[in-house]
Amino acid sequence: MTQRESLEFAMEQETMVQVLMVHCQAMKRQETRLRLATALMLVTFLATLVWIQFHQQTTHPVSGASLKALRTDEASSRRLSVYFRPAESMTNDCLQHQTETLVQWVRLSEGLDHQHINLTNNSVLKVLTEGLYMINLRISYRVLHNQCKSSDKPEAKLFVNITQQHSNYDAEILVRSAAESMPCKQYWMQSVALNKVIKLEANTDLRVKINSESCKFVNWSKNTHLDVTLL
């Protein structure tokens, strides 16, 4: 290669390097513009969200009274049920009746306060507020050692009734009932569950009754309960 050719080749290389540098600088400027545009879009989007939230708060303000009422409603929605368990004296009370025994209860919670429902004489659930109620009852039975002898019947009859009574009614009305048979076998376990949604008038009395014959099989301490929920 002659000296002239070498000089021309060097000039061409220098020109290519300059072109490449210019191209790189242009790409960097374009990338910077793209980043700035993206950042501007994000800032605009966030500002729009903040403005919408502020506009909603100013358009629909929540006063102190409204907030208090909202909290009261939320609290009341968590206190719609009342729970009962059988009274400890039920075992002795069963022996005093010939055919039918009125189940006595102990109140476990104050979910439905005394403005809605109350317990009278440990056996009558006095509904004070008219409304739609869900009633859940579960009575658990178990046959203990020596409760079933050879002279006993091979089956035990289980009768459970939920009734309501009101001054507008001529007589006590049956809400829900169950009639089942249980094998009289040692250590046998069985449950009767009743549930119903019913509209009750104010000052309605609810009662739970079982046949006295089945009293000795009732597991009063466990798995026997009554729940009443205002819907």
CA distance 83 to 91: 20
Based on the domain organization, do 166 and 212 belong to the same domain? yes
Structure tokens given for 75: 């609290």
Angle CA(180)–CA(96)–CA(178) in degrees, nearest 5? 15
204 & 92 share domain: yes
Instruction: Judge if 31 and 103 occupy the same domain.
Output: no
Q: Indicate if 85 and 54 belong to the same structural domain.
A: no
Q: Using an 8 Å Cβ cutoff, are 215 and 139 in contact?
A: no
86 and 51 within one domain: no
In the chain, the number of structural domains is 2
Residue 16 sits in the same domain as residue 99 = no
The range of the structural domain enclosing residue 35 comes to 1-61
- Model pTM score: 0.63
CB–CB of 104/93 below 8 Å? yes
When computed from its CA atoms, the radius of gyration of the chain, rounded to whole angstroms, is 40
Each of the 231 residues of the chain gets a pLDDT tens digit; together they read 566 666 666 666 666 656 566 666 666 666 677 777 777 777 777 777 766 766 555 444 444 555 454 444 544 444 468 888 888 777 666 766 678 889 999 887 655 566 788 888 889 999 999 999 999 999 999 998 888 776 566 888 999 999 999 999 999 999 999 999 999 888 899 999 999 999 999 999 999 999 988 988 998 877 899 999 988
Residues 110 and 220 in one domain: yes
